[in-house]
Structure 1
Amino acid sequence: MADAYTRIADAIVPSVYAQYSFEEHVQSLEIYQAGILFSDPAISSKLSMGGRSVDMPGWKDLGNDPSEPVNDDPADSIEMKKIGSRREVAARNVRAQAWGVPDLTAILAGDDPQKLIVRRQTEYWQRANKLTLLGILKGVLADNVANDGGDLVRTTGASIVDTDIIEAAYLMGDRADKFRTIWMHSKQMKALKLADLIDYVPSSEQGGPLIPYYMGLRCVVDDDIPVAAGVYTAFMFKDKAILWNELPVNSEG
């Protein structure tokens, strides 16, 4: 694919100079403040080692075997148990983007677009990473449906204001109350507001916005949530549900 540079034709060359403004993408980045993502420095250190994935070994829990009664008979000993290990694999996503600005464009435009590029890169990568995350979540749902009978997916034609959030939560059994956040489309939030089912809690930040909650779940609203044939998807998360590490690499060429 041929490189594209920001040229004079892409800029407005003013006869009377005024301060440049920019069109800001209005997208929800609340996913980064909702407690869904967390990072592990040990994983970050492995990202520089190369490879398409990162192995994350660990130990399984002790399980739910009942305790055993004891007595003073030395021949009646307790059976020794063992602890198992597990191996998880984190996928590596290598993403890149480039912007180019010839010097002449900045001179004739009266404003340097390179400054805007530098200032907006953090927000850009937040949006780009969010779309990557949504793609991963769609893959997780597809895998669950294909290989596990969709035991963690609640499919329904009913409105979100019905009992389906409760039904979806209890797919996790006695862990249903561990959910803390729901990530949904604005059309779903609209339905909940019209039904007067949203509660608002003040932000811990002084003068911050009110945070919407539905049935004790913090609501994150985002129109990049998948929609297919009028069917909307909502994702429910516990705290620190997704391990997300980044290793920024600055390359030129």
Structure 2
Amino acid sequence: MATTRLTDVIVPEVFFQYIIKRTKETSAILNSGILRADANLSSFLSGGGRTANVPFWKDLTDNGSNIGSDDPAELSVPDKITAGKDIAARQVRTKSWSSMRLSGVLAGDDPMKAIGNLVGDWWARNLQDILVSTLHGVYTDNVAANAGDMVNNISVTSGSPSSVNLISAEAILDTKQTMGDAAEDLNTLIMHSAIYTRLQKQNLIDFIPDARGEVRFPTYLGYRVVVSDRVKVINNGSGNPSGYVTYLLGNDAIAFNEQPMTTSPNVEVERKPDQGNGVGGDILYTRRQFVMHPYGIAWQDSSVAKEFPTNLELEAAANWSRVYPERKQIPISFLITNG
């Protein structure tokens, strides 16, 4: 009986579109509305370079209006309209699997779909990790360079936490207040399941139907709630309480664009005749090229060892710098609690 191979069941062009679709469908974070497709970044990905300039217009200064006069010698002095420059980084990530690891699904009725589900789910988790590391880089830069004006940290790093160190309505409201009168731009809470469970115990989670009236999603204080254990948990050392990071974000806070690579196919299957002691096997390669960028926080590329940043490098404060003039222009806030 002939053995089914990856080369028999995977059509690269179809397979790649399937895993992109699967990634979006299975990731609550990526599907929450916080990501925005930016045509300028798509153009950048089609070309070359490690970084892209993202120009923006700075807000007009509040110098007040002129007082009208009938004196022709009194002239209105125009204020300047100035532009700023945001910077986004190109990212290329790859992952490969051998057919021996995928052998269990090759025997199914629809092996390409089955493998696509596995690969799409893996990439969904990986992209969530990249997003969390990106947000943590924004957090570390904000604490280091902007006095933590995007952060409400009520946690303790040692001893025993009390109720004031835990998630609460007051803590969420204080966090949204970091946006001042622009707080209405925030609409999504992303939190760890331990935080979500604490709110459930307090009967503070509401559920509302989606646009079709079918699937209910949780809300808290009017914010949509997304639960993921892949959010950042700060380790304060053995025996010390952990710090849970809860994110309060607005729609389109982060640019996300993906384009096929021009130098390598997105999906490739390589035949390895020497595997299995000559029986042979296949290796499935997947490649993703994208930009994931928080608007207003310019990528500095100050501490990157290789061509593209790792997750740890994304978390480094030195690699980010806020360029939007006002904090309230960036719909991202952080709440740190002990539970």
d(CA) in 2 for partners of 1:241, 1:192: 25
Partner of 2:251: 239
Instruction: Say yes or no: does 1:223 pair with 2:226.
Output: no
Q: CA deviation at 1:28?
A: 6.5
The equivalent residue for 1:3 is none
Indicate the percent of aligned positions where both proteins have the same amino acid.
Answer: 35
Q: Which structure has greater strand proportion?
A: 2
Q: What per-residue deviation string (whole Å, max 9, x for no partner) do you get for residues 150-171 of structure 1?
A: 1211111311125111111111
Matched, 1:156 2:134: no
**1:11 paired residue number:** none
Q: How many Å apart are 1:64 and its aligned residue? A: 2.0
Q: Equivalent residue of 2:94, what SS?
A: coil
Residue 35 of structure 1 aligns with which residue?
33
Partners of 1:46 and 1:178 in 2: how far apart? Answer: 28
CA distance in 1, matches of 2:232, 2:182: 26
Give the TM-score normalised by structure 1: 0.80
CA gap 1:192/1:97 in 2 versus in 1, 3 angstroms: same
Q: Residues 194, 81 of structure 1: CA spacing in aligned structure 2 closer, same or farther, 3 A cutoff?
A: same
1:132 to 130, 137, 140: 130
Paired residue type of 2:202 = A
Deviating more after overlay: 79-88 vs 116-125: 116-125
In the alignment, the residues of structure 2 paired with residue 198 and residue 114 of structure 1 have an alpha-carbon distance, to the nearest angstrom, of 39
Q: Give the residue type in structure 1 aligned to 2:121.
A: E
Gaps of 5+ in 2: 6-24, 156-164, 236-240, 271-339
How big is the shift at 1:39?
0.6
Match of 1:95 in 2: 93
Counterpart for residue 326 of structure 2: none
Segments of structure 1 that go 5 or more residues without pairing to the other structure are 1-6, 8-26
Q: Give the C-alpha shift of residue 119 in structure 1.
A: 4.2
Which of the numbers 117, 127, 144 marks the counterpart of 2:115?
A: 117
Deviation, structure 1 residue 237:
0.5
> How well do the aligned residues superpose, as a CA RMSD in angstroms?
2.7
Structure 1 or 2, whichever has the larger Rg, is 1
Structure number with higher relative contact order (C-alpha < 8 Å, ≥ 6 residues apart): 2
DSSP 3-state at the match of 2:29: helix
Q: CA distance change for structure 1 residues 231 and 119 in 2, over 3 Å: closer, same or farther?
A: closer
Residue 33 of structure 1: SS of its match in structure 2? Answer: coil
8 A Cα contact 1:28 1:222, kept in partner:
no
| Contact residue 170 and residue 176 of structure 1 kept, 8 A | yes
Does the Cα contact within 8 Å between 1:182 and 1:220 map onto a contact in 2?
yes
Instruction: Indicate the residue corresponding to 1:50 in structure 2.
Output: 48
The offset of 1:251, in angstroms, is: 5.3
Give the corresponding residue for 2:176.
169
User: Is contact 2:190-2:228 (8 Å) kept?
Assistant: yes
Letter of the structure 2 residue corresponding to residue 145 of structure 1: V
| CA distance in 2: counterparts of 1:198 and 1:231, whole angstroms | 22
**Across the two proteins, how many residue pairs are aligned to each other?**
226
The answer to whether the 8 A contact 1:198-1:214 is kept is yes
Q: Alignment partner of 1:94: what SS?
A: strand
